[in-house]
Structure 1
Amino acid sequence: MKPGIFKPLKLKPFRSLFGAQLFSDLGNWLDFIALQVIVAYHWGLDETAIASVIIVLGLPWVIIGPFASVFVDRLPKKAVMIVCLLLRIVFVGGLFYAPNLYILLLFVFLKGTVSALYDPARQSAIRMVVPDSMLPEAVTLSQLSVNTMKIAAPALGGGIIAVLGPKSPFLFEAAGFVVSIIFLLFLPSLTSFEESDNRMAETSTVKTSFWKEFSEGIKHIFHAPLLRISIILSSAAFFIIFLYDGLFIFIAKQIGFNEGNFGLLISAVGAGSVAGSLLLGQWTGWNRKPVHLMSSSAILSGTFIVAVGLGGLGFLNFPPLVWIIGACLLGLLGAGESVPYGYVLQSETPKQMMGRVSAAAMSLQTFSMLIAPAAGALLAKQLGASFVMIGAGLATTLLGSTMLMIIWKKSGSFQPIRGKQLDG
């Protein structure tokens, strides 16, 4: 295998950032499993309690992240990340000792808040230390970490819970954050990068400066067509995915999967995501037309989602192996959407605005993810899970087709801005 995808790891600062992300991602997914097990099995609460945990997990990204990211852009990124990790360790301790759902939700919210600050700082740091020529590989490695931990952490978490009890993953999560801090301690100072990118002048009042900088991040998204269309496409895709995500287990039951082999279906999606990330890391020609790849992946994945819905209705009858291969392909196509999006976000955003722009984009995506499950459940009650799945697949294909037509009609409007303003 060519070393293309691993090129950025030759850079010492990126090695530190990537090492920290690996253990941070591991902790995040251990956390997600442990929270659901405690609420559903340990405390015996219902679906409403699980939904409240998921909503509170996402809320800080929507209501706090975009505003707090202004301060993230002002502050030293290394210090912000280390402080956020230290606070996450404290809040994980709160989760471990939480005696009831309300206290648990408080610490879930607090931990989500520092996570919403950590990620923009990490995105900014990547943009500072990785040259433009290595951005596709760096973004792909970052996405590879997320996709790999989605597979590894639930399996590890399940084993830890079986051996040590439902709250034990929190201890491993805290240990993971400690390891992340150690990696960041080896991160060279980013002061020189931050000073060169610092365009903030002294203003008469802090309030004026804050709102000016906050609005600049939003305006940049509207003034960068490639970035704007990528965020819209990504947010819409997230909404559609989470529309049917909670219904997937019911469809799986209808197409012949039981509780014993349902995990294989989910693991296949994760394995496909990892394979897709590796493939895109080795072949980076897509970075010339990233939105074309995102749109094409949406069109193809939509057809797979429709097929699953038709299987739930009994129109398609395949053996489990065929469905598992299809799930793997669905994961691979998912990487075809997430990796190019991450590249566009990094390459089309000036270094000094990275925190604000990434937080604003994440806010829109998280909002889509929060409202979608409720809409999916409501539609499922009215139409049935299979019809929601078919509708979601058709919507995904239509979304990708529409975006491709827009790009082809206005091809001149979607040129990268890297050379014009990224380093200016």
Structure 2
Amino acid sequence: MKRRFFFLIFSLITLEIFAQTPNYPTQWTLDNCIEYAKENNISINSLRLSKNSAQQDLLQAKEAKYPNLSGTVSQGLFALNGNNGLHATGVQSQNIGANSSMTLYHANYINNNEASKNLLVQMADLSVQESENNITLSITQAYLSILMNQENIVSLENVLKTTQTQLKQGDQLYKAGSLSKLNYLQIQSQVAQDQYNLTSTQNNLRTNIVNLKQILQLPSNYDFQIVKPDSIIVDNQLKSLQEVQNLAQNQRPEVKYGELSVENSNTNLKMAQASIQPTLSVTGNISTNYSNGNGNYFNQLGNNFYMPIGLSLGIPIYNNRIYKTQIEKSKIAIEQANLDLQNTRTVLNQQIEQSYINLQNALAQYDSASKQMDISKQSYDIVNAQMKIGSIDYVQLQQQRLVYIQVIQNYLQAKYTAVLNKQIYEFYAGNPINLK
């Protein structure tokens, strides 16, 4: 019996764990990483909740144009003040009523309030989009760092294989007396250095994987592996700076947010100005009552029926400058919103210009690094071949090897820097991230 009980508890816990496990992609491509983050990131989902809250405010504002309605029912006893003081008669009584009111005129306050709430919903949605854009760039940078490390590891493994081969040959030459002990030790040191470089890059890879996992907010014990694209191509085709700036000014959510903020500030001013205007409302209520001992229940409800309907006009006269202050502060808010929008546009143009400069520099460095890579690879192969036949000494080989390793690092850095900057620049233009 106990075994069945514990098995049942274990099964329930297991089912709960699986129920709480997010639906991870089968393969972690860059697109999948971005889509997963957009759907599951805590900060983004928190902004979505803020948007849902703003939508509820909008629904409430839309209903303000319709009449309200409330009802009351009360049950009690009569209390009379007689010679012996106040005492309850024991006679039961009942009152039934309902009342309603609707604003007929308030200087268009209700419509402006609805418009303001609608703008706030749109602004909340733009905040979600801006946060998605930010995390998209963060994921792209982390993803490319992983790809660079992986490619660097392959290059360093090839270098290590070459030096290990040299060590085997050196070992044979040293035993045969054809290689000095100093040169033999230098080859061993070279192998150790190449192993160190490889290990260091592998550690960097693990660090970058953890970084991307943290951005995606994945569990620490989750085995996270990205899928490498078939190829990473450096595209040197550029849109003009002015074209990208114009596209960004018309599309970016931070600019649209600023524009809506200005519009909302103007709407808030209209609402503040409505507060000093008269308010005309229609009001009405119905009521009836019943008391025990005064006749039939339903007859009393009919005879005591009361239904007054009327108009109510509220005229603000003096309120200690509260409304006037609200109007002036609304005007200040409009000026502030315009300044914020101007600053957003200026900063965005500056960011795009810097991205354009970074991309131009990265493409130029990549072009130079590519040429240097080809030359250095050929030189290193030639030196290795000459070393095998003994036409050069170890010092020359070591010098060329160090140059080659540095060239590899420069080439990979230039390549992935160019790819990243191209993606960022195109992203400003409204194009999605795409490594294909």
TM-score between the two structures when normalised by the length of structure 1:
0.22
Larger radius of gyration: 2
Q: Which has the higher contact order (CA 8 A, sep 6+)?
A: 1
Considering fraction of residues, name the structure with more strand.
2
Considering fraction of residues, name the structure with more helix.
1
